[in-house]
A and B are shown apart, each in its own frame.
Chain A
Amino acid sequence: MNQSEENKKKVIVRVCIGTGGLAAGGKEVIEAFKKAIADFCVDIDLDFTCHYQKVGCRGFCARDVLVDVVDGDTSVTYQGIKPDIAKRIVEEHLIKGEPVKEWLIDDSYHAFHAKQLKILLKDCGTIDPEDIHAYVKVGGYDAIKKILSSMIPEDVIAEIKASGIRGRGGAGFPTGVKWEACRKAPGDVKYIVCNADEGDPGAFMDRSIIEGNPHSVIEGMMIAAYAVGSNLGYVYIRAEYPAAVDRLKLAMAQAHEMGYLGNNLFGSGFSFDLRIKLGAGAFVCGEETALIASIEGERGMPRAKPPFPVQKGLWGKPTVINNVETLSNIPYIIRNGAAWYSSIGTEKSKGTKVFALTGKVKNTGLIEVPMGIRLGEIIYDIGGGIIGDKKFKAVQTGGPSGGCIPAELLDTPVDYESLGRVGSIIGSGGMVVLDETNCMVNIAKFFLEFTQAESCGKCVPCRIGTKRLLEILDRITKGLGREGDIELLEGLCAGVKSASLCGLGQTAPNPILSTLKYFRSEYETHIREKKCPAKVCKDLLTYSIIDAACTGCGACKRACPAGAISGEKKKPHRIDPEMCIKCGACFDTCKFASVDRE
């Protein structure tokens, strides 16, 4: 770079390469910008230099790729950027100074954010996660410095207890109480483990936090370590998150270099270091005792509690295991005070919670909301309502351990107790919106397939019980359900729930129990009438052609992969039910709604 280059103004192009951004082509977008700039450079001498920042998740994944163009004090945000649009933005905005209107964020973007309260995600997507100074600039590592210079461990624990924060991994155990138990457990060697083994289908908040703001997790671990008296922490993270692992490694290296990790931190005499342990992607390893076994090099199988990890954890030593989101909250609590934190949320559930909002809702993405917000607000205000304005049916929260909440309960506040009362859980924060085209039996079956496949096999109720539950659900969706199957499901669900060893088995029946509770008639219709009201279960469907509506265009005949449709041109066609494989191709193809699905 020559002298003149250095004197030019800097324009920053900030591209989301979080989970959603990457999937929408974030990396390709950056390449397209670089190529466009290079192409223009050939003919014109540009009066600026362009810098690229790969930032973490910004939440509104439905509108990815999100791109900020920062020119001095002004920042403009684009949405839905594809690589081929990059050239236009370079030419019209960067060179000519005219933002490209049709790709600018709109009202829905603002609506998406209006009811959110971003604490953890505030810095995600704005600061450069690969630069420790970016974190320091927004107050990073102030919390640990404050603690080391002015607080004894007991004060820290008191502060965390006063904040009211509860574990974000699913069970909602008060974090301060856990730390206190570990602090009081006898032993010289203690460990802090960060559970980054995010395994719920569709959940990606932990990954996003590590990718977008890794230092907040490190700082949280340091504070926890100081509070309980530990000098070594482990981050247990799945190997399927290579970007998060790289970010974390880089963050650790930078922290080491700055003297934020290692011996005698900030001259306080307190030492702390971190190790990364890669998980092989077993869902059960999110369970804390299985996670411990996995770090120890054993097969990830849960162990009986008691003793609890805070008494006998990793290598038999007292161990605190906190989830990523929990730890990431800690520096903000210390910086802003317990009173500030506990002012957010409800009486028993404090602070904010990050959810991965997906399913049949218009605005999907990663959201952070204050505890106590109503489900309806999330779905209709933040989520923008149901796609295609179909009828809302239920919202599934908590992933495979959670349940489905029906429309009549949309007023339910989102907090640990309230969701528990209606048969679901907050869990790690999955939130899947279902509409009238979702079959609830099928939804339950989907989650049971997952838990059965992920059962570690150690205990009988989970290994065989979930298999039998799945078999019963399977036969119901195939039209082979029997009278008494619902009662059998209920009985077995109760058995699996109370007899299983760990949380995986204990909560595996929840998707069945909650759908039975609110959508029992759907099960009954499957069993007694051999019909699927949502028209999802293939084996229960029959396709036929409504003669009066059929124009005999032949489109269905061409679309049918089984050759089951016959008929002469311009005359009503017919479907041979023997040959029909119920794929629905005819139904989707017909422009005259003349295919009937029953």
Chain B
Amino acid sequence: MVKVTIDGKTATVPEGITVLDAAKRLHITIPTLCHHPKLSPFGGCRLCLVEIKGVPRPVTSCTTPVADGMEATTTSPNLENLRRTVLELVLSDHPNDCMVCERAGDCTLQELAYSYGIRENRFEGERRTYAKRDGNPFIERDMEKCIMCGRCVKVCEEVEGVGAIDFAYRGFKSKICPPFERDLDCEFCGQCVAVCPTGALTGKLWKQKGRQKDVREVETTCGYCGCGCNLTLHVKGNEVTRVDSKAETLNEGWLCVKGRFGYSFIGSTERLTTPLIRREGKLEPASWDEALDYVAGRLKGIKEEHGSDALAGLSSARCTNEENYLFQKLIRAAIGTNNVDHCARY
């Protein structure tokens, strides 16, 4: 443990943590843009600069480890001036079309521009323009909005282990892209979308489906594989418009392509919407009473004629515990046989 003083507040913190983390423990907020708590430090945006006593120039708090006796200052006219300059520079190369941006209201850059009250920009100049859009069905890559924070590159490499994208080119023309600027061809886990602090990476599926303020967020559990990832369903009206996951969940907010993007089957027009009964060889719509009476009647008749063991039930590993419990209870208690199984043994 080491003793550090930040903005006059002193605390004892574990060795090896960064000044930014130490500040967090002291409830001191330092603005950041490229920093992500689950990824290795980058130090590119320069917003989290702090002054350290005895160090001639400001250093990034997200990369600088604490040292015993360190005294740091997180705000000063000079630091705020630098932060404002950095933000103005970022915004001078940004479309600033928040009115139509998918991330409006949920964008770190927008928040910072708001809190620093940046309207006029001293550094207006050329902006990067990219005509090409990516053809994949999941991830919208609007690279004009990319601030080069590198979070997507790191999450793809450090968390997903895929490395589908990286930095390319130099200087003002630097950009993040797949090899040879081809369309994205990856696992489409969407982790990059989840960590992007601006509107550069968004989901194509939730484009124009509604602003966050109109959306209800409900926590649930993924219905695909056995990992049991915690999902947040974004619901507008009677439609799931988007799926993501919170950082503090079991799955740390990470999802796979199915969990994140595989939800539109719920609203598929091919869903069964009415009971069907086979009549003269064809399945035809029927009312619930009709269908249920018919099912119960036939099951009862077969049981009476051939005994309970002539009936069987096959349940689903996709249904809930409660449904499975009720299903086997139905087979055992109402029909009277142990002929019940599920295909999960495969």
Contacts and interface: CB of A to CB of B under 8 A. Distances in A.
A306 interface: yes
B130 to A, nearest CB: 15
Interface string A158-191: 0000000000000000000000000000000000
Given A306-B65, A498-B82, A499-B58, A460 B170 contact: no
Contacts of B171: 452-455, 457, 463, 466-467
A465 interface: yes
Contact of B92 (A455, A464, A488, A506): A464
Contact of B85 (A307, A492, A506): A492
Interface string B85-118: 1100110110000000000000000000000000
Interface string A437-475: 000000000000000111111111101111110010000
Contacts of A468: 89, 92, 123, 125
Interface in B138-189: 147-148, 150, 166-167, 169-175
A181 to B, nearest CB: 15
Contacts of A459: 43-46
Given A306-B64, A459-B43, A501-B43, A467 B86 contact: no
B270 to A, nearest CB: 46
Contacts of B49: 499
A299 interface: yes
A124 interface: no
Contact of B167 (A299, A453, A491): A299
A303 B81 CA distance: 24
Nearest to A505: B46
Nearest to B65: A306
Nearest to A307: B65
B223 interface: no
B85 A495 contact: yes
A499 B123 contact: no
A500 interface: yes
Given A453-B171, A499-B46, A461 B125 contact: no
Nearest to A452: B171
B167 A301 contact: yes
Contacts of B147: 460
Nearest to A459: B44
B60 interface: yes
A304 B63 contact: yes
Nearest to B78: A498
Interface string B25-52: 0000000000000000111111001000
B64 A498 contact: no
B57 interface: yes
B322 interface: no
A330 interface: no
Nearest to B63: A304
A463 B172 contact: yes
Interface residues of A, number: 34
Nearest to B33: A460
A500 B59 CA distance: 9
A537 interface: no
Interface string A294-336: 0000010101101100000000000000000000000000000
Contacts of A307: 65
A252 interface: no
Contacts, number: 110
A457 B169 contact: yes
A282 interface: yes
A460 B126 contact: no
Contacts of B279: none
A309 B39 CA distance: 21
Contact of A455 (B78, B86, B93, B170): B170
Contact of B170 (A306, A456, A495, A499): A456
Nearest to A301: B167
Contacts of A498: 57-58, 78, 82
A228 to B, nearest CB: 23
B90 A464 contact: yes
Contacts of B81: 495
Contacts of B64: 304, 306
A488 B65 CA distance: 34
Contacts of B174: 455-457, 463
Nearest to A302: B43
Interface string B224-264: 00000000000000000000000000000000000000000
Given A454-B170, A468-B125, A499 B43 contact: no
Contacts of A452: 171-172
B231 to A, nearest CB: 34
Contacts of B271: none
Contacts of A499: 46, 49, 58, 82, 85-86
B250 to A, nearest CB: 31
Contacts of B125: 467-468, 471
A459 B93 CA distance: 14
Contact of A501 (B46, B82, B92, B93): B46
Interface in A486-522: 488, 491-492, 495, 498-501, 506
30 contacts: A299-B166, A301-B167, A304-B63, A306-B65, A453-B171, A455-B170, A456-B170, A456-B174, A457-B167, A457-B171, A457-B172, A457-B173, A458-B42, A459-B46, A460-B44, A460-B86, A460-B89, A461-B46, A463-B148, A464-B172, A465-B85, A467-B93, A491-B85, A492-B85, A492-B122, A492-B123, A498-B78, A499-B85, A499-B86, A501-B60
Closest 9 CB pairs of A and B: A457-B174, A304-B63, A495-B85, A304-B43, A464-B89, A467-B172, A468-B123, A455-B171, A471-B125
Interface of B: 41-46, 49, 57-60, 63-65, 78, 81-82, 85-86, 89-90, 92-93, 122-123, 125-126, 147-148, 150, 166-167, 169-175
Given A459-B45, A492-B122, 14 more contacts: A453-B170, A456-B174, A460-B45, A460-B86, A460-B89, A460-B90, A460-B148, A463-B172, A467-B93, A468-B123, A491-B85, A491-B122, A492-B123, A499-B82
